Structure 1
Amino acid sequence: MPAYPQTIHFVGLNTPVGIEWAARNLDVIGEIPAGIAGAFFRAVPDPAHAPMFDDDIVLSGDGMVAKFTIQDGKVDYAIRYVETERYRLEKDARRALFGQYRNPFTDDPVVAGRDRTVANTTPVWHGGRLFMTKEDGLGYEIDPDTLETIGRWDYHGAFTSQTFTAHPRVDPQTGEMFFFGYEADGLCSTKVAYGVADRNGNLVSETWFDQPYCSSIHDFAITERHAIFPVFPTTADLDRLKAGGAHWAHRQDLDSWVGIMPRHGMGGEMRWFRGRPGVSAFHIVNAYDDGDLVHLDLCLSDTNAFGFMREAGGIRRDQREIQGGLTRWTFDLSKEGDRFEERLVGPPGDMPRLRDADQGRPYRSAWYLSMNPQGGPPLPGGPVGFAFNALLQIEPGNGRIDMMGLEFGMAISEPVHVASPEAGHDGWLLMVVDRQAGETEFRSELWVVDAGAIAAGPIARVPMPLPMRAQVHGAWVSAAQLASAQGKKAA
């Protein structure tokens, strides 16, 4: 293996693995409930080649799609690279050809104008199709059975944006998927394309609007009546890119904004609300309507959580000094003006997970990752350089919080929720947990946790025989959904 930079982006849990492999009948410690049947897909950034620049980051890693298949208490596993245009070009060249993170002006001239996305952020299931997505380009369709890459997805040419979000939202009752792309017509553009696809995966509408400035809109939310777009002051600048600089630089002095529009409306119907300067959130728990009120629950911090984005803006803050928490923003659409109410509802954390059935509606509880104050220093790794070591369950209505804290030297990746066929049961959470086994050695396990009793820890564990790289996001697809998709393919 070629030498990788010895920075936080390439050591610890971020150590490159670069192995495509598969295994059947993995060992199971405990018993996996019969109600868990389907596939847990994971997005895993893993560079296939050493980068062109030593200051490269984990988010530049080539996308790998991983799959835990669970049926009758048995577990199989497979992981393959997403064969994006970028991956194929570098595979043929046997070296890196694309330069700094989201900066095409630093690429080898032989790949000028080629697709730069690594499709490494989120697996998305909709309309019987599986996609791997990253917000700097279009998604890539993946065969959910073989994990082979089918190709770039643009709704048969109907979606005109150059980009597609890593966080679309699917309505649990209508089956529609709501999504967007920012920098929709090119680098540093303020244009955002907003689209809706029906339950069968057909694009039914697309509308465009301008955000107040070019920011990284990583996530958004829907309610039964609205689409909500938070805009935070992590900004792009074309002159900076042309000079070889960073795509994103956080502005602590710049106001944040939230745009709210009818979820089946047009871009011109957007109403903008002004928020506190300098704040940032990458992930939203949920949003819902309450008469004329719209509630938005998000993992908010007082500055950008990514060190390289802060530093590009001249902000020198230690990761441990960042303040924030699970926050509720409430917008009264019956009143004029651009202000809204803010209320802290939970401890700091990120990577939230909600029941699919609660999307865009009032919800009783949700889960997200945080830090265990008794778990010792966090393991190095993950997108921000430090891994989470606790899982929280929160009930915003009454403030109740439960925690599954990990031991010293352990880390946890974002969970997925599996609904239970049994009425009144909260279902289960699946997640990968890592443990440090030596100075540079880590071992991984798949954990199955009762979603309503997380403090009890795992009810089943699946030790992995090979090293695993930290994931970004995951998705659960039931056996029934997979079978339905296979039926459509056969027909």
Structure 2
Amino acid sequence: MTDQATQTTRRESENHGPYRQPDFHPLPSFYGKKLPTVRLEAEVYDCELEGVVPPQLNGTYYRLGPDTLYPILGDDDNIINGDGYVMKFRIEDGHVDFASKYVQTSRYLEQRKARRRLYNEYRNPFTDEPDAPKIPDRDNTANTYAMWVNNRLFALREDSHPHELDPETLETLDVFDFDGKLKSTALSAHTKVDPVTGEWWCFGLFAERRFEGEVALVVADSDLNLVREELFEAPYPGLMHDFAVTREHVIFDIQPLTVDLDRAKAGGDFYAYDPELPSMWGIMPRSGTVADIRWFRAPNVVVGHIMNAFTDGDRVIVDAPVSPGNAFPFFTDVNGQPTDVDESFAKITRLTFDLSSDVDEPIVERIEDAVGEMPRIDDRFGMGAYRYGYYKSAEGISRIDWQTRELTTFPMTPPSLAHEPVFVPRSADAPEGDGFVLVVVSHLHTNRGELMILDANDLAAGPIARAKIPYSPPFTFHGSFAHNVDHAAR
């Protein structure tokens, strides 16, 4: 659509005349890919199965990702700006039931009522339609992480407060803010549940919406009572999508995608990559305060997600997919220029921070053949020393054995698109890594999808079961498995 035609449809709409909806178009995603929007809520009772679902696997697998209800005017949207779309696979006694639904955020409801896009570019209200109703949580698409914590299900988004969801119906409940006690305007998309204490560790990036680098550390007890909230200033106003917690330390990672409100007001991206900046890593004692943060610098280390972290004496070890350049290539650099997609490809990497040394950079050990993202572990071993990590690799679904550095892979090829792999233990007391890897797959070429169940001890052998769904679901970012959820009778 031309700019003139766009303005004409906008004016006609404002005057209650004819309105031509902008065309739906594939959205820029990671690694230079473009993915279609789906716009389908669905239920499948008793999915078609191939193979046998393991009897030890009983519970519900939740996934959350973005799907664009209405396209913006133009073609410069990106996948992380899509509306929250939650899916569940209920696995019980060898059967699998499926359901999907949009998260009913304020912006979703306003746009549904208007039957068109009102809130346009990612975190940039200066690009919204003139008649868009002003809502306080304009940026909350609730589209990043279906987080199961303390027997409750939350749709997390890093710039906002979570939406709580009904785990059975997927209906949207209230926005969660610890009964009004949370001061931060944001709660991280990536939170950490301590497998020993049950504490919920979180952060709030741009907690006061000054966009100057203000960050809140937020901690709740095992009953989700807010017990700690501390504010600090990061070295610069950069992106922090994930963070890490060990038994002894908290690690904050500020990435060189910076915020400039003047750029946003001029129609530019909310984030822009600055290749002159190193990523900055702040480490504090878990028993201390944010006043104890020590900052390290890591040039040519750009991180979106953390696999795990642990403390070994005076050393803090962080494992993560690391890109040499802009890990979010749908954002331009600070000069408005596109960045090299090849520099967004990440390798699984071990960063070692020596707290006893005056050196302010970590030791960086890249696993050269381990190209991939979306890392997960056996969550029972989170925050401590561990052996196995799982990730969506360039070749398919992979496992790294940190003890031997051995890589094991179940290969997959485009146009089938694997989502994040999630590990589920065979039993509560099974050894680390003894269990199953669950992977949702979108078969874009056939418009079909499936839940693939792999034996974590033998990924290369391929799926032991597939639960099929009759459409290709939108790409989901992150999810959780809830063991033996007590659902209402169907």
Secondary structure, aligned partner of 1:232? strand
Alpha-carbon distance in 1 for matches of 2:387, 2:278: 32
User: How far is 1:6 from its partner?
Assistant: 3.3
User: How far is 1:12 from its partner?
Assistant: 8.4
Among 270, 286, 295, the residue aligned to 1:272: 295
Distance 1:30 1:365, change over 3 A: same
Among 423, 426, 437, the residue aligned to 1:420: 426
1:130-279 → structure 2 map (5 Å cutoff): 130-276=153-299, 278-279=300-301
1:210-359 → structure 2 map (5 Å cutoff): 210-276=233-299, 278-311=300-333, 313-314=335-336, 316-320=338-342, 322=344, 324-345=346-367, 347-359=370-382
Give the gaps of 5 or more residues in structure 2: 1-19
Secondary structure, aligned partner of 1:287? strand
8 A Cα contact 2:66 2:84, kept in partner: yes
Letter in 2 for 1:423: A
Is 2:75 the counterpart of 1:67? no
Is 2:460 the counterpart of 1:455? yes
Is 2:57 the counterpart of 1:36? yes
8 A Cα contact 1:417 1:429, kept in partner: yes
User: CA RMSD for the aligned pairs?
Assistant: 2.1
Counterpart in the other structure of 2:477:
472
Is 2:407 the counterpart of 1:398? no
Distance 1:71 1:7, change over 3 A: closer
Alpha-carbon distance in 2 for matches of 1:74, 1:423: 23
Counterpart in the other structure of 1:57:
78
Secondary structure, aligned partner of 2:330? helix
Letter in 1 for 2:59: G
User: How far is 1:339 from its partner?
Assistant: 2.6
User: How far is 1:402 from its partner?
Assistant: 0.7
Counterpart in the other structure of 1:127:
150
Secondary structure, aligned partner of 2:291? helix
Secondary structure, aligned partner of 2:70? coil
User: How far is 1:146 from its partner?
Assistant: 1.1
Counterpart in the other structure of 1:377:
none
Distance 1:306 1:22, change over 3 A: same
**Which moves more between the two structures, 6-15 or 335-344?**
6-15
8 A Cα contact 1:104 1:112, kept in partner: no
**Which moves more between the two structures, 9-18 or 402-411?**
9-18
Give the gaps of 5 or more residues in structure 1: 373-389, 487-491
Distance 1:52 1:312, change over 3 A: farther
8 A Cα contact 1:122 1:167, kept in partner: yes
Is 2:102 the counterpart of 1:81? yes
Secondary structure, aligned partner of 2:371? coil
Secondary structure, aligned partner of 1:146? coil
Alpha-carbon distance in 2 for matches of 1:189, 1:107: 23
User: How far is 1:244 from its partner?
Assistant: 1.8
- Normalising by structure 2, we get a TM-score of 0.90
Distance 1:99 1:407, change over 3 A: closer
Is 2:389 the counterpart of 1:366? yes
Is 2:23 the counterpart of 1:4? yes
Alpha-carbon distance in 2 for matches of 1:455, 1:82: 36
Secondary structure, aligned partner of 2:238? coil
Distance 1:175 1:321, change over 3 A: closer
Letter in 2 for 1:181: G
CA deviations on 1:258-279 (whole Å, 9 max, x unpaired) are 0001224321111111111x43
Letter in 2 for 1:108: E
User: How far is 1:345 from its partner?
Assistant: 3.0
**Which moves more between the two structures, 262-271 or 134-143?**
262-271
Letter in 2 for 1:60: N
Secondary structure, aligned partner of 1:42? strand
8 A Cα contact 1:260 1:270, kept in partner: yes
8 A Cα contact 1:252 1:279, kept in partner: no
Alpha-carbon distance in 2 for matches of 1:187, 1:45: 26
User: How far is 1:313 from its partner?
Assistant: 4.6
Alpha-carbon distance in 2 for matches of 1:97, 1:2: 12
